[in-house]
Structures are given as structure tokens and as C-alpha cells.
Amino acid sequence: MTNAPGRFDDESLSPRPPGTVLSSQDTSNPCLMCGSTSRAVLYPFEIRDVVRCQSCNFIYAHPMAEEGHFDEIYGGEYWTTYNVSVGEPDIHDRIDEFLEISAERIERLERFRLDGKLLDVGCSMGFLVKAASDSGFEAIGIDLSEQTLAEGRELFDVDLRQAVVGDLPSALQFDAITCYNTIEHLTDPESLMREMVSHLSPDGIIVIGTHDIESKSHLLERRLWKHIMPSEHLFYFRREDLFALGERVGLTVVHADKPIDNSIVVYYKHAESTAD
């Protein structure tokens, strides 16, 4: 990795101070939510700025990362070497914590869905797949790093595959598709949502969890908020953005949660579904 992680480069700010309105000549990377290319710098960073859409106030990273940028970051030792390099504790020291969080996530899912086939997108070592399996789901997980997946299989004896949603056989349908802390990393969240919808059974539930840009801690800490990290986090969703994105891909919101201040979790079903 040659790029300095977004949050540790305070000494090397971009030359564009907050509030700088960026050139309207640059029509690349239109706002995911409204399509506008009118934007102003919110938080300057060397690698790419965090900007605010001048039309709808959506917050995102600009210029956008190259498509597939995550293959390099997440395909290798993201969860071990890379994460430690940006100051996160080693995942191996957090196994119990992640298992506990995952068990809570499954408990909350069970308000809407008690069993069936579950797909976890961006599964890392398979914590949620393990919790779901223990709770009676027939669960599989997909992610990019074979090394991390292999460790998870070894530890938890669960079904983890090196794949993206688009790689799955089109006939494969799931009753629950979960995707935590992943959508904000991708260059095209809408495509991911569409692919998930194409694999959702008629009365299935999709669960999207991400960092909440409207959290109290962001409002207080602003640029220093730990999730402001444009090297990895390309989109900073509000509740309304997640609702609108779901609607755009044929989903309707069943419920939205804030299990902790920093996060937001939205539960969706097919818009035409008759499930409760």
C-alpha cells in the first residue's frame, strides 16, 4: 500500500480548504443520490477529498476510487496487516467481540426472519455466518481475501467462499442477505444492491449496516470522526439515502435501527412482497 490511510494524513492536507466549491467542469463521479456534479470540499484529504453535494447534501469521496480498487486492498491481508497498519486492533484479538456483535445482529434479524438460507456479503472470517448457523440458518459468506476466509473456515467450520455477489449462480436465492460495513467501501453501491435483490427470495429480507454520518459522534468530531477515511470509505450515508437507494432497486424499508450511535442498519424486503 502506497496510499496513506485517510485519517492519519492530517499533516498532508489537500490544497483545497473546507468550503472550496469544486469546478463544475469536472463531470466525473456524479452524486450517487441525485446525479449532480456540483460539490464542495467538506474535509480535505491528500488521497481524495470528502465532499458534500451542493444539490442534495449527500457526502462522498471525490475523485472516486478506480473500479476494483478494493481488489487490491481487500483481496490480500486487509484484516491482518493492513488494518493493524492503520491503527485498528488485530482481528485476532477481537474474535470474541465480533462473535458477540454477530450474535446480536442475528437476534435483531430474527424479528423478521427466523430461519432459511442466509448470505453474508463481506463476511471477513465468517463471524456472522457462524452466529447465523448456530441460530438455525443455512448460512454462507462471501468475501475477497482467501487467506481470511481460510482462517474462518478453520476456526468456525462454516461455508465461506471467495466471491462477489455477481459470481453466484443466478438461481441461488436467499431468505436473508446481510451486508455490514461493506457498502461504503464499494465504488458502485447501487449495483451491489441490485445484485442482492436478484438473489432475494420473494419474502426475503436484506439487511444493510453502515456508519451513520448523522451520528452524534460525527457531529461532534467532524473530520476526526473515526469513519471519515476516504482511502476506504467512499460514501457516507444518511438514513434517507439508504431508504432512497433501496427504493431505486425495488425494495421497501421494513425497519431501521441504530444499535450504536455510530451505525445505522436498514431492513428491506421486495417492494411488491406481501411479507410482514
Binding-site ranges for Zn ion (CB under 5 A): 31, 33-34, 36, 53, 55-56, 58
Reduce the DSSP state of residue 53 to 3 states and report it.
strand
Shortest distance in whole angstroms from residue 154 CB to Zn ion? 44
Smallest CA-to-CA distance from 207 within 91, 96, 122, 149 is with 122
Shortest distance in whole angstroms from residue 66 CB to Zn ion? 22
Rounded to whole angstroms, what are the CA distances from 82 to 10, 78, 182, 185? Answer: 19, 5, 16, 15
Between 53 and 123, CB nearer to Zn ion: 53
Between 48 and 199, CB nearer to Zn ion: 48
Shortest distance in whole angstroms from residue 31 CB to Zn ion? 3
Contact 181, 259 (CB under 8 A): no
Q: Supply 128's cell numbers.
A: 456472522
Between 60 and 180, CB nearer to Zn ion: 60
Q: How far apart are CA 3 and CA 70, in angstroms?
A: 13
Between 137 and 235, CB nearer to Zn ion: 235
Identify the residue whose cell numbers are 448470505.
Answer: 119
Shortest distance in whole angstroms from residue 38 CB to Zn ion? 8
